[in-house]
Amino acid sequence: MENFARNKVASKQTTEGLPVQDFRGLLQSLSSLAKQQVRTKITGSNSFSMFTTPTPLQNKALELLGMSLKIRA
């Protein structure tokens, strides 16, 4: 086993400092991303969307999948 692989196993982190995940753990992490539609009780007010902020691990996974959660106005 090469040094970088040994370091990864020992530190449980990637070379980018992200936690090492198995596929199931990564899917569980990605499942916590959410979009919520919020409506206030103020008369005549509009509703708006709120998004959870992706963690660095979630951002990296989305980047590797060619996806992004950038909000468009």
Rounded Cα distance, 31 and 55, in Å: 12
Q: What is the mean pLDDT of residues 31-47?
A: 85
Q: What confidence score (pLDDT) does residue 27 get?
A: 92
- List pLDDT tens digits, range 11-35: 788 888 888 888 999 999 999 998 8
* pLDDT, greater one: 8 or 60: 60
Rounded Cα distance, 63 and 42, in Å: 38
> Is it the case that residue 73 has pLDDT exceeding 60?
no
Question: Do the beta carbons of residue 29 and residue 58 sit within 8 Å?
Answer: yes
Q: What confidence score (pLDDT) does residue 28 get?
A: 93
> Is it the case that residue 36 has pLDDT exceeding 80?
yes
